[in-house]
Each structure stands twice: as structure tokens, then as C-alpha cells.
Amino acid sequence: MVDIQKLLEVMGALRSDCPWDRQQTFASIAPYTVEEAYEVADAIAREDWSGLRDELGDLLFQVVFHSRMAAEAGHFEFSDVVDAICDKMERRRPHVFGTSEQRARGVVAGDWEAQKAAERSDTDASSELDGVTLALPALSRAAKLGKRAARVGFDWPDQAGVEAKIAEELVELREARELADQDAIQHELGDVLFAVVNWARHLKVDPEKALTGANRRFEERFRLLEQSLQQQGRALKDCDLDTLEAAWTNAKNRLNRNA
């Protein structure tokens, strides 16, 4: 087993001897932590396994960095982080770490959420929505908020109810546009997006994954469109909409044939 002590010693040396590392705080490092998590996800999406190894190292370094600063401030040690996650996983997976009866029973639907709810009840949480991280991307946070509310019955009974809500929000968005009220437009567009995220939940689709796929398809098609026009000696900005639409359709068809 690899000894993580070497990494802890490297971090200690950086905090002692490197001016840049010494001046960092939790707040200044947090954006890097989020960025590294996204780079891990990107390496997985690209199936870049050597890249994933490196990105996981970068993410682990972030954990060690925050733990070192916490230790310096007297909050907790890195070992406390390890103990906390081990304890949490053991609590939440009784089918693996529980009593012989719990292990024999196997996975029970709802156990995970029940354990998380019990953990929240041991804190100062006053709402079902407590603990939904503010720093999540808005799309993912909307999905979590909707799921939490649905667990206690605050939800549409079926997909038709969500679709009707989306139609209602679109009407309100059009009314805001007619008034040329930019604040109202932003407000109503947000409501449309929130309703669509809840529709995704009813469709059993991860909205973040769905939009990531749409982004990828758009990028692939747009790049192919650019290449096609360049091969014809035409600049994108000089083409009319009909030409662009035809080039877009051609790019889409070519990618579909190669799929």
C-alpha cells in the first residue's frame, strides 16, 4: 500500500517554504478544488486513463491542502478527514459493514437516504433542503432541490403536470418579453429552466448529463460546419442564414452516419 505520508510531507514543506502556498486560504484554494473535480470528470468522459491518474492526484492534493490549512488553524487533521469518510461509508452501507443480519439482508431500497436523513436530524438542519450545496452548478442544484422536495410529497403527480407547468412558465416569459422588462425576463427564464430540470427528473434523466451531451453534439457539428465552409473557401461570418442552415444540416447528417 502506498504511504500517503510522503504527500503530507510535501504539503508541509510547501506551506513552510513556498511563498505562494503559504499565503493561500480556504477561500482562495476552493476554486482550484472545483476545477480539479471537473478535470477528473473530463478525463473520465474522454476515457483518458493516464490523464485520470494525474487528475485524481491533483484532486487528492486539494484535499491534503485544505486539511493542512485546517490543521494549522486547529480545526482538524488529515487523519480526521479519513476517519470521517470511513465512518460515514460504514454507516451508510450496512449490507457490507453492518451486523450479520444486515449483511444477510443485503441492499434495502431507501436505506441510503434514510441514513442521510438521520444524519441531518443530528445537526441543526431545519429544512428538507438543508445540505444542498450552494456551490453546485445551478442545473445540478436545481435537480437536487426538486428531488428533496419530492421526497416529502411536494411534486407533480406525473409528467403531464410538469409539462403543464413548463407551458405556464413559457407564457409568463413571453409576457415579460412583451413588457421588455429584463429583470422579469431573467426571473421567468429561470423558472422555465427549473421546471425543465424537474421534467428531467420525472423522465429519469440526469439533466447535467443530458446538457453535457447536447453541448458535445453542438460542438462536433459546429466544428464540422466550420471545416466544410473553410474547404469551400467561405468565411462563416459572410454566409447567409440559408447557407449556414444547409451546412449545419449536412454536418449533422454526416455525424449521424458515422455514429
Tell me: the pLDDT tens digits for 55-70? 999 999 999 999 999 9
Reported as type and span, the H/E element at residue 157 is: none
Nearest 5 degrees, angle CA 33-CA 65-CA 83? Answer: 100
Of 104, 14, 30, nearest to 62 by C-alpha is 30
Give the tens place of pLDDT for each residue, 4-14. 999 999 999 99
CA distance 4 to 15: 17
3-state secondary structure 170-204: HHHHHHHHHHCCHHHHHHHHHHHHHHHHHHHHHCC
* 239-259: average pLDDT: 87
* 159-184: average pLDDT: 96
Round to the nearest angstrom and report the end-to-end CA distance of the chain.
Answer: 42
The yes-or-no verdict on residue 177 having pLDDT over 80 is: yes
pLDDT class for 1, splitting at 50, 70, 90? low
Yes or no: say if 185 and 173 are a contact pair by the CB < 8 Å rule. Answer: yes
Cell match 473557401: residue?
A: 233
Yes or no: say if 72 and 15 are a contact pair by the CB < 8 Å rule. Answer: yes
* 211-237: average pLDDT: 91
Helix count (H) and strand count (E) of the chain? 13, 0
Give the tens place of pLDDT for each residue, 77-105. 999 999 999 999 998 888 888 888 888 88
pLDDT at 125: 65
pLDDT at 63: 97
Choose the most confident range, by mean pLDDT, from 3-17, 98-112, 229-243.
3-17
Give the tens place of pLDDT for each residue, 112-141. 667 766 666 666 667 888 888 887 889 999
Listed in sequence order, the DSSP H helices in the chain are 5-17, 19-22, 26-45, 49-72, 78-92, 94-97, 100-105, 111-121, 138-151, 159-179, 182-202, 207-231, 241-258
pLDDT at 158: 92
Yes or no: say if 207 and 195 are a contact pair by the CB < 8 Å rule. Answer: no
Yes or no: say if 118 and 137 are a contact pair by the CB < 8 Å rule. Answer: no
Q: Which of 70-74, 106-110, 115-119, 148-152 has the lowest mean pLDDT?
A: 115-119
* 210-236: average pLDDT: 91
